[in-house]
Structure formats: C-alpha cells, structure tokens
Amino acid sequence: MKKPRKIKRYCSTCKKHTVHEVHRIKKKKASELKKGQRRFRRVTSGYRGFPRPKPEGREKTSRRASLKYTCEICKKSIQPPSMRAKKVDVGE
C-alpha cells in the first residue's frame, strides 16, 4: 500500500480540512518492569523450554501498520486505528 507524504485530512483542532504530514510509527521496546514481561522472564528462566507452542500454520501474512498524521497548521497529531497490510510505503 502506498501513501503520500502529505495528505489533506480533517483536523479536529482547527475544525477544517488541512494538509497533514504522514509518519510511519515503529514499535517501541517492551518495558521489562511490566507484569506480563516479568512473568515471561520467570517462566523462561532455568532449564525449561519456551512456554508457548510454536505458531506454525497460525502466522499472519500481513502486519499492522500504524500511521500518524500531523497537522501542518496547529502541529497536532492524530493516530487512527492501525490497518493490516503486507507492505506500507510512505512516499512523496
């Protein structure tokens, strides 16, 4: 899926359609202090194997692509729900 670098969208702060800049959002590193991560580290420590079965045959063929739109007038950013796509290119 190809997206232009700039797109005209409705800005809820300006209350009108303005030009927005499109940015691709990358996943941040998971925090080691979260409860699920602490549980995962505890289960995988020691001489045991991985706690969950391999996802063979259950893998998704596409990934979720998160896009962020920044208004060029008020600089307010919005991030709508992500979409599934095999490949996302933010071009010119």
> Mind listing the pLDDT tens digit for each residue in 58-68?
888 999 999 99
Q: What CA–CA distance (Å, rounded) separates 20 from 22? A: 6
Q: Domain 1-27+61-87 has what CATH class?
A: alpha beta
Please count the other Cβ atoms lying within 10 Å of the Cβ belonging to residue 22: 17
Looking at per-residue pLDDT, the higher value among 22 and 55 belongs to 22
Query: Sorting pLDDT into bands at 50, 70 and 90, what band is 56?
Result: confident
| 92 pLDDT above the threshold of 80 | no
Q: Residue ranges of the domains in the chain?
A: 1-27+61-87
**Which amino acid is located at 27 in the chain?**
K
Strands (E), the chain: 2-3, 6-11, 16-25, 63-71, 77-78, 83-85, 89-90
Degrees to nearest 5, angle at CA 7 with 5 and 9: 145
11 burial (CB, 10 Å; 0-12 / 13-18 / 19+) is buried
